[in-house]
Amino acid sequence: MATQRTTTDLHCRQARPGQESAVADTPSLRFRVYPSGVKAWMYRYRVPVLDSDGKPVMAGEHSKTRLRKMVLEGYTAVSLKEARRLCQGQKSLKADRGDPIELERLTRLDNFRQANREREAAEQDAFTVERLANGYVGKYALARKQSWREDQRIFKKYIVPALGSDTPLHRVRRKDVVSMLDTVASTAPVQAKRVPAVFRKACNSGVEREYLSAPPTFGVRPKTMEP
């Protein structure tokens, strides 16, 4: 690739594909025209070559380095003056925090992980007690149990009213389950074992679908009224 030196916007506008120009008063700033004709400003710099332990690889008395090129902006987006400012900003960033390309990669990775966390949180919030009930009855009990209507009734009469239909399942705590079962044991003792059995089985399906890390029924025993 041919390399020239330029300090004017006129030269940039007239540059042809395959040319790369070094800005005279800013050596680390380059102007490049790709074979496609796209024009862009680049920041060229060098970073140390590191071994597997993260230590600099030496070449005699000096450490080895490698060239890196970072695209700053497209030519049509910023002027030469603005490109100088952007280049200086990246040079300052390199001096303070290290390789700008690596920092940009880590930032994108952090943003990706944050987006995944937000997506997973939204999915968990959407998996409510009512959705659990509908999913358990419709996808499990209906196909496997002749008593599916009784399971449906238990959800509608005892579980959903006690825990709240719109409550995200991952926000249901063990104390909420215990309180619900205490109420069932005192008002409908016949259901004292049936209700936790149905709810536990339904919560296990939530764990399988990864909407829960652990069911809120873990460690909760069925309640019975003392004689």
- pLDDT tens-digit readout, 89-133: 999 999 988 899 999 999 999 999 999 989 888 888 888 999 999
Domain that residue 20 falls in:
2-51+58-123
**Partners of residue 42 on adjacent β-strands:** 30, 71
Split at pLDDT 50, 70, 90, the class of 226 is very low
User: What is the torsional sign of CA 8, 13, 19, 20?
Assistant: positive
My answer on whether 162 and 97 are in the same domain is: no
Question: Whole-model pTM?
Answer: 0.56
The pLDDT assigned to 5 comes to 57
Assigned domain for 117 exists: yes
Assigned domain for 225 exists: no
Tell which wins on pLDDT, 86 or 207: 86
Tell which wins on pLDDT, 190 or 219: 190
Dig out the tokens for 92 from the structure.
């300052």
Split at pLDDT 50, 70, 90, the class of 176 is very high
Split at pLDDT 50, 70, 90, the class of 13 is confident
Assigned domain for 105 exists: yes
Burial of 137 (0-12, 13-18, 19+ CB in 10 A): buried
User: Which domain CATH number covers 11?
Assistant: 3.30.160.390
Q: Please provide the average confidence, as pLDDT, over all residues in the chain.
A: 86
My answer on whether 77 and 179 are in the same domain is: no
The DSSP code sequence of 102-162 is: HHHHHHHHHHHHHHHHHHHHHHHHHSBHHHHHHHHIIIIIHHH-TTHHHHHHHIIIIIHHH
Assigned domain for 222 exists: no
Q: How many domains is the chain built from?
A: 2
User: Which domain CATH number covers 194?
Assistant: 1.10.150
